[in-house]
């Protein structure tokens, strides 16, 4: 199935009129030389292998080593077998972080998809001027670099000079004289969630809206004539049409939220007391923070395996769609 999108490549009308009168020659089948696809793929494969592949291999290698500051500086190698893995798997913090990562990811993706869909629908329903205004503010939020937006959010939620405390005070809530928004892991992650949702919703909303504009108005009219409720229209018309969109967008959001690092790390360095540590943050803290690069490598290998297993269902879904299309 294919959704036709406004800005998608338009179909170009048939063959050039000047040749129309002539009998069509037999199409010259592309002489797909056997090596051509490989040649075309070579630069990409080479680049991925040289930078990413090599890094992953090295990461795997040092996960079997005692690799700390001394080994890094003096460039020595000390093999320790599975010690790093054993230590990580026995570490309660690893499992806490794993659970936290998934809860955090699920919550974020859910909120992003729901809010994004609602705002996308809202865009579709608004008048031109209001739509333009909302689109621009969405784009502004989307365009803001992560470093900049994280800094601004830290500042907004600053204990002493933050706007958030001022707003709460102005609204008449007590206890916000110097409320510490980063006082617990849950509260820290909640603010990170606000930040990530704020920055990710525009992607979903604007794309959904772009998709909606291509759904023919007649479909809506017809549905309304039949007396279908908004809810019905959404579930029985929109969702099926936009299924591939939801599938891919959710997939991307899962990956992006799972990998979210800067937002969590810069906000409170996984604190307080490591209570906002997700797996990528934990790996970074062990590696760059504690100079336990071997242990950090083990954590990242395990993280990747967990992610692959978790995403395998998704891979399968996308693969199935792929097959249907081809």
Using the rule CB under 8 A, is 86 a contact of another protein?
Answer: no
Cβ at position 99, least distance to another protein in Å: 18
Q: Which two tokens stand for residue 39?
A: 């040649």
Among 113, 192, 223, 283, binds another protein (CB under 8 A): 283
Using the rule CB under 8 A, is 207 a contact of another protein?
Answer: yes
Q: Which two tokens stand for residue 295?
A: 């242990």
Cα separation of 288 and 28, whole Å?
58
Stretch that binds another protein, among 103-111, 221-229, 231-239, 255-263 (CB under 8 A): 255-263
Stretch that binds another protein, among 70-78, 106-114, 218-226, 231-239 (CB under 8 A): 70-78
Among 73, 171, 225, 309, binds another protein (CB under 8 A): 73
Cα separation of 207 and 204, whole Å?
5
Cβ at position 96, least distance to another protein in Å: 14
Among 101, 193, 200, 249, binds another protein (CB under 8 A): 249
Give whichever of 47 and 114 is closer to another protein, judged by the CB atom. 47
Cβ at position 43, least distance to another protein in Å: 5
Using the rule CB under 8 A, is 80 a contact of another protein?
Answer: no
Q: Hey, how many other C-beta atoms are within 10 angstroms of the C-beta on 57? A: 11
293-325 and 54-62 helices, crossing angle to 10°: 140
Considering only residues 166 through 205, tell me which ones interact with another protein, judged by CB under 8 A.
166, 178, 180, 182-183, 198, 202-203
Using the rule CB under 8 A, is 136 a contact of another protein?
Answer: yes
Site string for another protein, 227-246 (x = CB under 8 A): ---------------x-xx-
* Number of residues lying near another protein (CB under 8 A): 144
Among 107, 111, 190, 210, binds another protein (CB under 8 A): 210
- Say which residue the tokens 């329903």 belong to: 125
Angle at 313 between CA 321 and CA 8, to 5 degrees: 35
Cα separation of 113 and 318, whole Å?
18
Considering only residues 40 through 59, tell me which ones interact with another protein, judged by CB under 8 A.
40-41, 43-59
Using the rule CB under 8 A, is 219 a contact of another protein?
Answer: no
Using the rule CB under 8 A, is 20 a contact of another protein?
Answer: no
Name residues whose C-beta falls within 8 Å of residue 276's C-beta, 6 or more positions apart in sequence: 100, 185, 188, 189, 192, 264, 267, 268, 270
Cα separation of 173 and 187, whole Å?
17
Among 109, 187, 292, 298, binds another protein (CB under 8 A): 292
Give whichever of 62 and 238 is closer to another protein, judged by the CB atom. 62
In what helix (H) or strand (E) does residue 67 lie, and over which residues does it extend? none
Q: Tell me the helices (H) and strands (E) count for the chain, helix number first.
A: 16, 0
Among 21, 23, 24, 240, binds another protein (CB under 8 A): 24
Among 81, 82, 95, 151, binds another protein (CB under 8 A): 151
Among 144, 190, 215, 233, binds another protein (CB under 8 A): 144
Render 207-270 in DSSP notation, one character per residue. Answer: HHHHHHTTS-HHHHHHHHHTT--HHHHIIIIIHHHTHHHHHHHHHHHHHHHHH--HHHHHHHTT
Q: Cα 158 to the chain's mean position, in Å?
A: 27
DSSP one-letter code for 17: G
Cβ at position 27, least distance to another protein in Å: 5
**Are the C-beta atoms of residues 151 and 144 closer than 8 Å to each other?**
no
Name residues whose C-beta falls within 8 Å of residue 249's C-beta, 6 or more positions apart in sequence: 113, 116, 203, 204, 207
Cβ at position 230, least distance to another protein in Å: 11
Backbone angles phi, psi at 11, to 5 degrees: -75, 135
């Amino acid at each position: 199935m294919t959704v036709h999108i406004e800005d998608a490549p338009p179909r170009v009308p048939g063959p050039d009129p000047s040749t129309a009168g002539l009998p069509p020659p037999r199409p010259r089948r592309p002489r797909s030389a056997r090596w051509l696809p490989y040649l075309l793929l070579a630069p990409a494969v080479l680049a991925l292998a040289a930078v990413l592949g090599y890094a992953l291999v090295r990461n795997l290698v040092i996960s079997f080593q005692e690799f700390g500051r001394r080994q890094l500086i003096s460039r020595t190698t000390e093999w320790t077998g599975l010690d790093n893995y054993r230590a990580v798997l026995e570490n309660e913090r690893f499992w806490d972080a794993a659970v936290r990562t998934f809860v955090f990811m699920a919550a974020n993706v859910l909120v992003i998809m729901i809010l994004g869909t609602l705002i996308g629908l809202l865009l579709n329903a608004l008048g031109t001027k209001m739509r333009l205004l909302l689109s621009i503010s969405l784009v502004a939020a989307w365009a803001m670099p992560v470093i900049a937006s994280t800094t601004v959010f830290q500042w907004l939620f600053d204990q002493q000079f933050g706007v958030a405390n001022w707003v709460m005070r102005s609204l008449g809530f007590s206890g916000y004289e110097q409320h510490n928004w980063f006082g617990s892991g849950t509260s820290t992650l909640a603010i990170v969630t606000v930040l990530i949702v704020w920055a990710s919703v525009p992607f979903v909303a604007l794309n959904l809206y772009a998709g909606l504009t291509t759904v023919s108005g007649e479909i809506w009219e017809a549905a309304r004539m039949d007396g279908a409720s908004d809810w019905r229209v959404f579930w029985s018309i929109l969702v099926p049409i936009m299924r591939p969109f939801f599938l891919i967008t959710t997939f991307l959001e899962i990956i992006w939220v799972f990998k979210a690092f800067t937002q969590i790390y810069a906000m409170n360095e996984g604190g307080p007391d490591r209570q906002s540590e997700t797996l990528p943050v934990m790996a970074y803290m062990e590696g760059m923070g504690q100079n336990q690069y071997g242990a950090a490598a083990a954590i990242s290998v395990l993280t990747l395996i967990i992610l692959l297993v978790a995403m395998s269902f998704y891979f399968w879904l996308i693969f199935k769609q792929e097959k249907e299309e081809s």
